[in-house]
């Protein structure tokens, strides 16, 4: 798609256009603060809507290196990844230009207050969960870059007009990394979603994303935030509670009461079981994301 101000050859936007589109980064156009920077809504002269992320200032890495990486990341296209159109440099300030996602984040849809909360019925939740799994499977297994996202959570899943999920901020953690090793000194993740081996030792493999995905899947079924949910004084989070219910053979109790009786029991229990496989404390025992996709779709059995 051609966008006003974007040089398709280089992937660069003209600063003039970005500035005009966001009305000079007017606070009224601010969508929110994400990891790595502030996001603004912008409307280009041709009417297309974009989301502009103004990156917080970065320390060492030179702009040139950064731009090479951006070029590779923007080449990654998948229906479940937020499209990165290009970037823009003005002085030492860097901007990333993304497709605009009409329905904000999954976090808002599930846990938002009043006007922000959406009613997500069971088929929508199922579609969202499978979509996230597909996006991650692509990043891990199919993309040439083999990206580990490192910060999968409901705020990093955005919903388009039709409530299809797309993963945002992929590749950014990689850009932030100074050395290229498996043991990371800078852990980029969020409490409540981080795999234990990554949180404790900085040991990073794509199985860290599988763990985070499992937490997200549980949140989708339960309609509750992992860390904010305390079923009672004995259990501190949703995941703990799910493990207790699994032992009691009562996983259905986890399903969001807002769904009433309007959901597919078999699919719901399957989603919880897959989530629990994904959150296994041992990374080697977690499935990979393409196996998760086929389990979620009922194409392969869930081995407990
Ligand atoms: O739930 P939200 O409105 O959706 O709050 C966050 C906020 O910016 C910080 O990340 C929103 N956001 C991020 N990227 C986009 C995008 N491409 N389109 C629309 N909103 C976005 C996100």
* Ligand 1 atom index nearest CA of 116: 1
Q: How far is CA 47 from CA 21, 39, 50, 185, in A?
A: 9, 19, 10, 43
Please give the distance, rounded to the nearest whole angstrom, from the Cα atom of residue 156 to the centre of ligand 1: 8
Q: What percent of the chain has pLDDT over 90?
A: 66
Contact at 8 Å (CB) between 84 and 97? yes
51 lines ligand 1 (CB under 6 A): yes
Please give the distance, rounded to the nearest whole angstrom, from the Cα atom of residue 97 to the centre of ligand 1: 12
154 lines ligand 1 (CB under 6 A): no
The protein residue whose alpha carbon is closest to atom 6 in ligand 1 is 32
SS3 50: strand
Strand partners, 50: 42, 99
Alpha carbons 48 and 32: distance in angstroms, whole number: 20
Our mutation pick for probing the ligand 1 site, out of 22, 30, 31, counting the most ligand atoms within 8 A of Cβ, is: 31
The distance in angstroms from the start CA to the end CA of the chain is 45
Structure tokens at 209: 């994303």
- Answer yes or no: is pLDDT of 107 > 90: yes
Mean local confidence (pLDDT), 120-147? 94
255 or 58: whose pLDDT is higher? Answer: 255
Alpha carbons 174 and 54: distance in angstroms, whole number: 17
158 lines ligand 1 (CB under 6 A): yes
90 Cβ contact list (under 8 Å, min separation 6): 15
pLDDT, tens digit, 9 for 90 and up, residues 175-189: 555 444 555 556 678
Q: Considering only 34-38, 108-112, 198-202, which range has the smallest mean pLDDT?
A: 34-38
263 lines ligand 1 (CB under 6 A): no
SS3 74: helix
- Answer yes or no: is pLDDT of 115 > 90: no
ipTM of predicted complex: 0.97
List the catalytic residues: 151
pLDDT, tens digit, 9 for 90 and up, residues 205-222: 999 999 999 999 999 999
Strand pairing class (49-55; 84-90): unpaired
What pLDDT shows up at residue 103?
96
């Amino acid at each position: 798609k051609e966008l006003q101000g974007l040089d398709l050859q280089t992937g660069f936007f003209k600063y003039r256009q970005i500035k005009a589109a966001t009305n000079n980064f007017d606070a009224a156009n601010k969508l929110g603060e994400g990891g790595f920077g502030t996001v603004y809504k912008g409307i280009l002269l041709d009417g297309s809507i974009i989301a502009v992320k103004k990156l917080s200032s970065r320390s060492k890495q030179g702009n040139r290196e950064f731009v090479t990486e951006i070029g590779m990341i923007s080449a990654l296209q998948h229906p479940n990844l937020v499209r990165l159109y290009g970037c823009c440099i003005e002085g030492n300030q860097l901007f990333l230009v993304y497709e605009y996602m009409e329905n904000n984040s999954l976090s808002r849809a599930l846990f938002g207050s009043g006007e922000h909360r959406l009613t997500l019925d069971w088929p929508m939740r199922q579609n969202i969960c499978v979509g996230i799994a597909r996006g991650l499977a692509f990043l891990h297994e199919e993309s040439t870059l083999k990206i580990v996202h490192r910060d999968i959570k409901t705020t990093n899943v955005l919903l388009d007009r039709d409530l299809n999920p797309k993963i945002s901020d992929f590749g950014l953690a990689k850009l932030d990394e100074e050395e290229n090793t498996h043991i990371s000194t800078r852990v980029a993740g969020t409490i409540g979603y981080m795999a234990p081996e990554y949180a404790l030792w900085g040991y990073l493999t794509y199985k860290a994303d599988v763990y985070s995905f499992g937490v997200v899947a549980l949140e989708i079924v339960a309609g509750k935030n992992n860390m904010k949910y305390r079923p009672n004084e004995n259990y501190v989070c949703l995941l703990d509670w799910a493990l207790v219910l699994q032992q009691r053979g009562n996983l259905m109790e986890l399903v969001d009461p807002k769904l009433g009786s309007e959901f597919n029991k078999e699919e719901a229990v399957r989603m919880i079981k897959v989530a629990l496989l994904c959150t296994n404390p041992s990374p080697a025992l977690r499935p990979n994301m393409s196996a998760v996709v086929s389990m979620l779709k009922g194409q392969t059995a869930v081995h407990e």
